[in-house]
Structures are given as structure tokens and as C-alpha cells.
Amino acid sequence: MTRLADHLRKHGDRIAVMTASAQVSYSELADRVDRFAGGLGTRRQLVLIETRNDLSTLVGYLGVLAGGHVAIPVPAAGDHSHILATYRPDVVVDGSGVHVRSEGAHALHDDLALLLSTSGSTGSPKLVRLSRANLIANATSIAGYLGIDETDRAATTLPMSYCYGLSVVHSHLLVGAALILTERSVADPEFWELFARHRGTSFAGVPYTFELLDRIGFTSMDLPHLRYVTQAGGKMSPERVRRYATAARHRGWQLFVMYGATEATARMAYLPPDLARERPTAIGVPIPGGEFSIEPVEDWPDTSSGELVYRGANVMMGYAHGPGDLVLDAGPDVLRTGDIARRGADGLYEVVGRRSRFVKIYGLRIDLQRLETSLRDAGIPALCTDSGDRLAVVATAEHEPDEVRRTAAGAAGLPPAVVDVACVPELPKLPSGKPDYPAARTLAAAASAPAPHDGDLRGVFADVLHLDRAEVTEDSSFVDLGGNSLTYVMMSLRLERALGRLPADWQRMSLRELQNLPAPKPRRWKSWGATLETSVALRAVAIVLIVGSHVELFELWGGAHILLGVAGYNFGRFCLTPLPRTTRIRHLRTTIAWIAVPSVLWIAFASLITDDYHASNLLLANKILGPHDSMTAGRLWFVEVLVWTLIALAALFCTPAMDRLERRLPFTLAMGFLGVGLALRYDALGITMGDDAMFSLLAFWFFAAGWAASKATSAWQRAAVTAVLVVGLVGYFDEPSRHLMVLTGLALLIWVPAIRCPAGVAVVAGVIAEASLYVYLTHYQVYPLFGSHELVGVVAAIVVGVSVSAAVTLARQRLGRLGSGGRGGLPVGDEPLLDQGRSEDAVAPDQVRGDDAATARRRR
């Protein structure tokens, strides 16, 4: 029972597993595996285990193998009812624990160790039977040609229920290397923070992984410990292979393109990295211990090609269709792949077609014949084929395309967005009477009925961001397309209506991912049917409080400091994204323009009709240049603080070193800036610039607190930001109500990402938040027109601001593509980081004229 645990234990105190919060040595892992195996008993059992990329799953899976049992790994979020019904496992291991259903009820072959789904895509209970010898042979071979040793640290980018994901686990634990366990996507900054912190040396990807890597500018990342990247799970385009191979050569790592199948335990071939640029269409050479042959295929037009046949110790024992097959002996170590291939003069193999009707989409191997049978059983006669990385289905006209799409997608285990459907009077046939699949492919592509939300969401993206529809691809995200905090509000409201709910971190999700979200569950209280982000709610509430306090309808101060925190929060989310450095700087530059240009234009206009502003206001530098004795010149302090803060940060992040540091340690760097802000706030650096000029530096820490909040991904990090916030607020204001107001607002920002509220409230709040920049800029000139009618003055100021916002939006649409990067209207960046301001200290110079400098600092 303990052979596997003994193998782990021989690596001693070497690190075996790393997570976001823990490190586990091989000795400790062996002890945990032994304990888990002991809890399953000595009689061999069939164990279904729900998998996640976490430590408990790894211990459970290894414990099943160590105990001599047979494992059936399945994805934790998937529907495995057909496996449960067909195989009736003795034990089920899920997130809530170990559940014994029966005990040793199955006859199991002595060599059988693992059962993996052959496709997992058509509801088929057919499983691949793999032996211990299969697992060891394949892991040994992979470790050999990748050169894995004890110094390697691989991140788990693929699920453990997938043969490719398991092969990473097996090959690294075999040689005493380490695993970085994470559920994070490569599109998440947190993945790269963890990867860099643990000095990751490799990760694995399917073709879609590399699409995500394209979106985040992976090839420009500084990953000094990265040694190689592997790709399998479907054919990647030759252009992308060549591009990543070139990037690998320039950046000092290697790209291994691989070919395999579950039936071969994972791998059958690999393309040597030094040949990837010259031969990007090849699958390469057989793995060590394996060999290929090419057998003629009847009626195949190219006689130099044939069916690719593989032989090796990693070939499966055979298939299982039910529990009775689990005791069968192994078949021959020969695998007929069904792929048509040829061998080049250089010895490299290349797949040029398929013999069987299997396709691979999204890394899933789909049996098209079985899919047609499933549709027919559901009452939908159809032809199924593939169209590149999409599934093409042609059904008869009595069915609705959406019905066909949902049924086909469900049967295939694919997102509806990748299924093209055409409904025609008769299914296309060849003159011989056989199905005409090329015609079916053409019909489905031509019809190209939009997936759920496709037309709506593509139109929403194009409308809100002022783009042509053609610019919005399925791989585009809100951030990729230049989204910012102003358009963020409008987009969140539109998506809420289109999707029925607002997913977390939606701004980084691609259009495809948004389209593929499952429909939300009906809510009992329909009136509370909208999700409103806390940052949006704070903007709306704060701008109302700002205007109301200035009009003297009530007196509730503190809104501007909350909004400065929200500005920092949006800076972290929309400017410090996983995009290339040049794109980040462009976003920062246009962010500053969006804040400064409307402000300067309004100041210039207001100066023509009032005496409110001075020339220094046009430079957004009144706090620095003065005059300091005006009752109105200090009104725009918020804009000044924000603009000059962003200018300073833009200059810093222009440097590659600072850019790399932020990508590697986003939370740590943000907390570092928060520490600098507190040092300025407590005058620990001894900087002297005059009280008014110092004001901008003193207020910076609110911005930094919001920035740190945006990068906090765990409870302890949020607690750390909250603790610093509490310390920073002690004695900052004279009024306790201000302390409470600011603490409450920023604590909500840190801990509560979104709130549920009536749909009408969400819409109103969103409109006000979207217009908050223009409300802030214009309200000083609007509310005095209404004299002592304070409530009317507040309403009028908000209405004018909303109207100006709508006019600017309309102007952007009509101006077309005048902005930077080919996008329409004004430069697209992160506009209102600004539309949060207010000058709640508009009369502060008089209020503190007699105070000493320390008191002035506390009040500000």
C-alpha cells in the first residue's frame, strides 16, 4: 500500500507542493497520502474523485493510488451522473469528504490503476483503462525528454481530471520536482504573481491557453526562472507555434509542442524546440520508448500518407464500457490513432487528416457519430462536423436553431458559443446518397446563428466603447478594448441587463467567456434583481453627498477622500492590467487626458462667465502655484491631486524595472506605495513645500489605499489594507463623523465587491456614477443659480452633470475614429478615475488660516 508513499518520502524535505498560502515537503506529502490511503481500507475499491487543482485533491488522488485502489478523476464542476450510474463506484471523494457507497463491490484487474474519460464530451461512459505500468512509463518518458529534475517547479494550468494535467503531476513527482497548485487562469495577474513568487519553471497549455497568453502580452513578461512551456490538447496554428517559438528563443525558454491521447496515457510525440520555428506543422518524433508506423489507408488519395499507429509501454489496457470490463486483461500495446500522417525526410511526423469522425475542440475529443446519434435520440435529425475550432451542426427545418445549439452543446460538453447551426428543409447529401459534410459545414458557417447573448453582447461592447462591431472579437475583453472606469459603469449596467447577473472580474473576461456563462438561477425576490458594484455605488452616493454638502442641504463630509480611494482602486484595475507595458502606458496617458482635458475646458468656460478660477487652475496647479487666499481657487483640489498623482505614476511605470516589479508583486508594490503615502501623511520624510502644496502629497495615501485594495486577493491582504487604513485615519480629520464616513466607505470597497439592489436603484446609481465627473465640474456654477432652494439646486446640479455626460457620449459617437489607436472620439483610457471628485474643502483656506501647519494637515 505504501510503495507510492515510500517513493515520495525518499525525496525528504524537498518541497513537493506550493500553493498561495502553504508549502508542503515530500515527507509531509507522503505522510498525508499514507493517512488517506489508510482511511480507505485494504480491500481494493473503485473510487470516483472530484478534482480541483488544490492540495486536498492531490492528496486524495495519490492516496487512492497508494492504497492500490482504482481512481476515476472527474472535474468537480462537471456533470458525472452518467459515470456514477454506469460504474457505481464504491467511494466518492468530493469537496465535503469521503463517502462510502459500497465496499469492494467490483472485480478489478490487478494492474488497473486509473480510469479516464476518453472524450468526456458526449455523455459516453466509455473510459480508458490505464495501468500502473502505463503511468510510470509515460511519466518517465516525459521527464526524460523535457529534462525535468528536482529543481523544476511546474504550475498546474490544466485540470487533474484531464490526462494532460495529470501527466504534469506524474512526471514531476516522479523525479522529486515541485508542483505549484492553483485554480487561477493564466489570464489572472494572481497566477503570475504566484508563479513568480515560487520561481515557476514551466506550465502547460492547450491552444486556448495560448489565446489567453496573447491577450495578456505573455511574450513580453519577465519570467527569469521560466525554462519551458508545453502545448498539447489539439493542433495550434503554425503561425502561433512559430511566433511562440521565436519568442521563446529571444526570452531564453523553450516551447515543446506535443501530440498525444488519453489512450496513450498522455504523450506519444514531441517536437524538439529547436525545430519548432522551421517545422511548426509537425508533431515531431516519438517519445522515448515509443515508436510510430504508418499503415496504408484504403481510398486515401495521398499514398505517402497513412494511418498513424503508435506502439509503446504507455498504451492503455483497453476501453471500459461498464463495470464488467474492469477485470479484463490488457490488450496489445498498439494504438491506432485514427489520424492520417506522413513522415518527412527529416524524420518528423506530421498529421494531415483524420480517418475517423473524431474532432478536437477546446481540448475535448468529440465523437461526431455519437453526437449525431445523441441528437437523433433527442428527436433532432442532424449532420455534425467541425469547422476549425467550432462545431458545425445542420438540422432539419422543424427545429429552432437555439434549440439545436443548446442540445448539441450540452451533448458535446461545449459552450454554445462555439456551435454554428443551420436549419434546412433537407439534410445535404452527395449524389451517392451519403451525407454531404462539406456542404453541412458551409451551410452552418453561412447561417452562423449567434450564440446566446452574442448579438447583444457584441453590440453592447461596440456601442459602449464606440467601436465598429468588427473590432470586437470573441477573444476581446473589456480591458483589451480600452475599457476604463467611465465606460465601466455603463458597461456593467448593460451587461447586467443582458446577462441577468454581473460576474466577478467580468472586465477581464473575453466576449466568448461572457457569452458562455450559464443562465442565472431565478431569484425569489425579483425586485432585488440587479448587482451593483460597490465602487459604482460609492461614486454615486459620494457625488450626491458632495453636492448636497456644498449646497448646504445637509453636512456630510468625507466623500472626496472616499472617491480618491475609489480612484486608486480603479487605477489598479484598469491601468495596471496584464497587458504589455506600452499598452499600460497608453492607458495611463489617455487616463490623464480624460481627467485633465474636460477639467481645463470647463475651467476656461467658467472663467469667461465667473470669477471663480485663476490662471493657475488652467494648469491644474492652484494648490502649488496659488493664489491661496481665494474662496474659490481651491475647489478643484481633487482633480489636481489625481492628475499629478497619475503623472508621477505614469513616469514611474514607463521604466521596465518598475513594470516588471508590479507584475511580479502587485500587492506588495501597492502596499509599498501605501507605506510611502503614510510616511508623507505623518510628515516622516520631512518634506516642506507649504501647507497648500503639501496637501496633494498628504492626500496621496487615500489613492494608494484604494490601489492596494484592488490588488488584495486574500482575506489577510484585505485585513492588512484595512488595518493600515484605520491607522492612517487616526487624527486625520477634526470631525469624528468624517473618520466614520471615510472608514465605512473604504472598508466597503475593500471587503464588499458588489451589492444586490432593486434594478431601478442600480440604473439610477449607474447613471449618476457615470456622470460624476461632469457633476463635479459643473455643480459649482449650477447650484448658486437656485439661491436658498437647496434641494432644487442639488437636483439641478445632478441633472446638468448627467446631461453634459450624455452630450459628451453622443459627441464621441459622432466624432468617429479621431482618438488614439483608431478608436473613436476622445482618447480611450481610464476616464474618471476622475469622476469622483468634489471640493469638500472649498472654503478650507479660511477655515484653517489661523491654524498651525500640523492642524492644517490633520484637517486635510
Cell digits for 59?
492528496
Q: Which residues of 265-292 are buried (b: 16+ CB within 10 A; e: fewer)?
A: bbbbbbbebebbbebbbbbbbbbeebeb
Q: Could you count the other beta carbons within 10 Å of the beta carbon of residue 31?
A: 16
Helix or strand (DSSP H, E) at 562: helix 559-570
Least confident of 83-87, 230-234, 406-410, 629-633: 629-633
Sheet containing strand 318-320, strands side by side: 97-100, 91-94, 46-51, 70-75, 112-117, 127-131, 318-320
Q: 564, exposed or middle or buried, with CB in 10 Å at 0-12, 13-18, 19+?
A: buried
What is the residue type of 370? R
Q: What nine digits make up the cell of 716?
A: 489577510
For residue 478, pLDDT over 50 is answered with: yes
Could you tell me which of 687, 578, 692 has the C-alpha nearest to residue 220?
578
User: Residue 304 burial (CB < 10 Å; 0-12/13-18/19+)?
Assistant: exposed
Q: 3-state DSSP call for residue 664?
A: helix
Res. 451 pLDDT band, cuts 50 70 90: very low
Q: Which of 600, 601, 605, 635 is nearest to 620 (CA)?
A: 600
Q: Which residue from 551, 555, 501 is spatially nearest to 523, judged by alpha carbons?
A: 501
Is residue 39 exposed (0-12), middle (13-18) or buried (19+ Cβ within 10 Å)?
A: exposed
Please, where are the H alpha helices in 389-453?
401-412, 437-447
Say which range, 114-123, 191-200, 486-495, has the weakest mean pLDDT: 114-123
Is the confidence at residue 821, as pLDDT, over 60?
Answer: no
Confidence check: pLDDT of 11 > 50? yes
Query: Are the CB atoms for 181 and 53 separated by under 8 Å?
Result: yes
Question: Is the pLDDT at 846 greater than 50, yes or no?
Answer: no
For residue 823, is pLDDT > 50? no
SS3 411: helix
d(CA 808, CA 814): 10
- Determine the pLDDT at residue 742: 94
First to last CA, the chain: 69
Separation CA 134–CA 725 (nearest Å): 56
Q: Which residue has the higher pLDDT, 638 or 285?
A: 285
Least confident range of 106-110, 301-305, 324-328, 749-753: 301-305
| Structure confidence by residue, pLDDT tens digits, 631-678 | 666 788 888 888 989 999 999 999 989 988 988 899 999 999 999 999
Could you give the CA distance from residue 159 to residue 157 in angstroms, rounded to a whole number?
A: 7
Residues 295 and 309 sit within 8 Å (Cβ to Cβ): yes
Distance CA 779, CA 547 (A): 7
Sign, CA torsion 780/782/788/792: negative
Report the range of poorest mean pLDDT among 19-28, 61-70, 320-329, 497-506. Answer: 497-506
Do the strands 15-18 and 23-25 form a parallel or antiparallel pair, or are they unpaired?
Answer: antiparallel
CB 127 within 8 A of CB 115: yes
**Given the C-alpha cell 465535503, which residue does it identify?**
96
From 754, 326, 734, select the one nearest 506 (Cα to Cα).
754
Beta bridge partners of 349: 284, 343
> What pLDDT is attached to residue 826?
35
Provide the pLDDT confidence category of residue 2 given band limits of 50, 70 and 90. Answer: low
List C-alpha distances in Å: 464 to 493, 584, 828, 840.
11, 21, 12, 31
- Residue 359 has what pLDDT? 78
**Full set of structural domains in the chain with CATH:** 107-354 (3.40.50.12780), 358-447 (3.30.300.30), 534-859 (no CATH)
What average pLDDT score do residues 598-627 get? Answer: 86
At residue 434, the pLDDT reads 61
Contacts of 158 (CB under 8 A, 6+ apart): 164, 165, 168, 204, 205, 206, 233
Residue 469: Cβ within 10 Å count = 12
> Tens digit of pLDDT for each residue in 570-594?
898 888 876 778 878 887 888 888 8
Range of lowest pLDDT (483-492, 665-674, 754-763): 483-492
pLDDT of residue 74: 93
Instruction: Decide the pairing of beta strands 127-131 and 318-320.
Output: antiparallel
* Cβ–Cβ < 8 Å for 60, 51: no
What DSSP string runs through 474-505? TT-BTTTTT--HHHHHHHHHHHHHHHSS--TT
Residue 828 scores a pLDDT above 80:
no
Query: pLDDT per residue over 777-812, tens digit each?
Result: 999 899 999 988 999 999 999 999 999 988 887 776
| Residue position matching grid coordinates 525545430 | 275
Question: Looking at the whole model, is its pTM more than 0.75?
Answer: no
Mean of pLDDT values over 82-100: 93
Count other C-beta atoms under 10 Å from residue 821's C-beta: 11
Q: Can you name the residues that pair with 49 across neighbouring β-strands?
A: 73, 93
pLDDT for residue 454: 42
**CA distance to 5, 28, 162, 681, per residue, from 171 (Å):** 16, 19, 14, 53
- Cα 179 from Cα 701, distance rounded (Å): 38
* CA separation for the pair 421, 438 (Å, rounded): 14
| Gap between the Cα atoms of 89 and 74, Å rounded | 12
- Between CA 215 and CA 507 the distance in angstroms is 13
Q: What is the largest CA-CA distance in the chain?
A: 99
Using CA atoms, how far apart are residues 842 and 848, in angstroms rounded to an integer?
12
Cα atoms in the Cβ-side hemisphere of radius 13 Å centred on 401: 18
Specify the DSSP class assigned to residue 690.
-
Per-residue pLDDT, 831: 37
Is residue 121 classed as helix, strand or coil in its secondary structure?
coil
In angstroms, rounded to a whole number, what is the distance separating the alpha carbons of residues 441 and 611?
A: 70
- Give yes or no for a contact between 748 and 569, defined as CB atoms under 8 angstroms apart: no
Phi, psi torsion values for 674, nearest 5 degrees: -65, -40
Phi, psi of 301, deg, nearest 5: -65, -30
What are the C-alpha distances in Å from 140 to residues 129, 158, 595, 754? 19, 20, 58, 48
Whether residue 762 has pLDDT greater than 60? yes
Q: What residues are paired with 23 via a beta bridge?
A: 18
Phi and psi (nearest 5°) for 387? Answer: -135, 85
Per-residue pLDDT band at 137 (split at 50, 70, 90): very high
Number of H helices, E strands in the chain: 31, 27
Residue 87: pLDDT band (50, 70, 90) is very high
CA distance 347 to 431: 41
Q: What would the pLDDT profile of 108-128 be if each residue is shown by its tens digit?
A: 999 999 999 875 443 468 899
Place of cell 519548432: 276
Average confidence score pLDDT of the chain: 84
Which SS3 state, helix, strand or coil, does residue 128 take? strand
Q: Which of 225-239, 471-485, 573-587, 836-850 has the lowest mean pLDDT?
A: 836-850
Cα 558 from Cα 738, distance rounded (Å): 5
Neighbours of 432 (CB within 10 A): 7
Amino acid 167 reads S
191-193-199 Cα angle (round to 5): 100
Averaged pLDDT, 702-715: 91
Mean predicted confidence (pLDDT) in 281-294? 97
Confidence of residue 824 (pLDDT cuts 50, 70, 90): very low
Decide: 8 and 63 in contact? Cβ < 8 Å: no
List the single range of 41-55, 88-102, 128-142, 801-815 with lowest mean pLDDT. Answer: 801-815
pLDDT at 80: 85
> 850: exposed, middle or buried (C-beta count within 10 Å: 0-12, 13-18, 19+)?
exposed
Q: What is the pLDDT of residue 466?
A: 67
Higher pLDDT, 204 or 842: 204
Cis peptide leading into residue 627 (ω within 30°):
yes
Check pLDDT > 50 for residue 461.
Answer: yes
